[in-house]
């Protein structure tokens, strides 16, 4: 397979924040896949509700410049060429948190039991969070083919920033004091 063909096969999870109901099926599906149990604290996708009625599914945006990967002093993070996701080598990761600070959305987080960073890996190309969301009919998370020229960095934002934007869109007023 050529590098150009590999680029065409990359996928991405599109987010439609106003459609998220906060059901947390995505967190359950993720942890059943990765942890073999329901454990939202270990989920690679986390749903934040900082304002009642505004739920934000928060997961890796697959930035074009991968600041988390570039920041890791231990070489524990790499990019999967097939899926364009960040892969974590748990043996090399020291859970120092430098990648969390480097991420514009502060998306990576430390596994609640083991000392390594967790980041969405698209379940190897079949993201279970998307499956759970679309099967429920919510479509807040959808799987799309990644366009090579598209930058996903706009989605690498903190839950607070995303919540502000969605709440202002829904309610039509500034919500600074609520967050």
Domains in the chain, CATH or no CATH each: 3-178 (3.30.70.20)
Look-up: residue for tokens 């709440």? Answer: 167
Is residue 89 scored above 50 in pLDDT? yes
Residues 35-75 have pLDDT tens digits of 999 999 999 999 999 999 999 999 999 998 999 999 999 99
pLDDT for 148 equals: 66
Query: Which of 94, 56, 100 shows the shortest CA–CA distance to 76?
Result: 94
Residues 142-170 have pLDDT tens digits of 999 877 666 788 889 999 999 999 999 98
pLDDT for 161 equals: 94
Chain centroid to Cα 165, Å, comes to 18
The model carries a pTM of 0.90
């Amino acid at each position: 397979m050529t590098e150009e063909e590999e680029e065409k096969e990359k996928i991405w999870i599109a987010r439609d924040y106003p459609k998220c109901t906060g059901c947390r099926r995505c967190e359950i599906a993720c942890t059943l896949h990765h942890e073999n149990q329901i454990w939202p604290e270990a989920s690679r996708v986390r749903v934040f509700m900082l304002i009642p009625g505004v739920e934000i599914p928060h997961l890796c945006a697959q930035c074009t410049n991968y600041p988390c990967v570039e920041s890791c002093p231990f070489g524990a993070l790499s990019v999967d060429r097939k899926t364009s996701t960040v892969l974590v080598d748990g043996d090399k990761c020291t859970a120092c948190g430098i990648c969390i600070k480097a991420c514009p959305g502060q998306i990576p987080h430390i596994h609640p039991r083991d000392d390594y960073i967790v980041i969405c890996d698209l379940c190897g190309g079949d993201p279970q969070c998307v499956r759970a969301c679309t099967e429920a009919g919510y479509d807040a998370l959808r799987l799309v083919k990644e366009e090579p020229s598209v930058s996903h960095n706009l989605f690498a934002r903190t839950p607070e920033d995303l919540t502000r934007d969605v709440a202002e869109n829904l309610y039509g007023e500034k919500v600074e004091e609520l967050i």
